[in-house]
Amino acid sequence: MGLIARSIEAAGIPTVVISITRDLTEAVGAPRAVFVKWPLGHPMGEADNAAQQRTMIFDALRLLVNAKEPGIIHDPGYRWRREEYSEPEWGGLRGA
């Protein structure tokens, strides 16, 4: 995904990816990424955990809106199946 994101950025469209492999994300130079140390195939979280999945979407959107430069890898520190997720707030997404 990082290579695709770089191509899209080259066309002038900002991007952000959700990554579960930090070393690969760094190697391909993804413009902006949210990194979570979760099992392969689960970058958005657990099945049927809508609050967790929305949290990931909001984290990615906040990074997209607030990142001042490309090359940022944000690590929110979420632990697989050890967090309680509530509905995310819109804070940080308005006024973009």
The predicted pLDDT at position 38 comes to 94
The answer to whether 17 touches 67, Cβ cutoff 8 Å, is no
Per-domain residue ranges for the chain? 2-74
Query: pLDDT tens for residues 33-87?
Result: 999 999 999 999 999 999 999 999 999 999 999 998 888 999 999 989 888 888 8
Residue 25 has pLDDT above 60, yes or no: yes
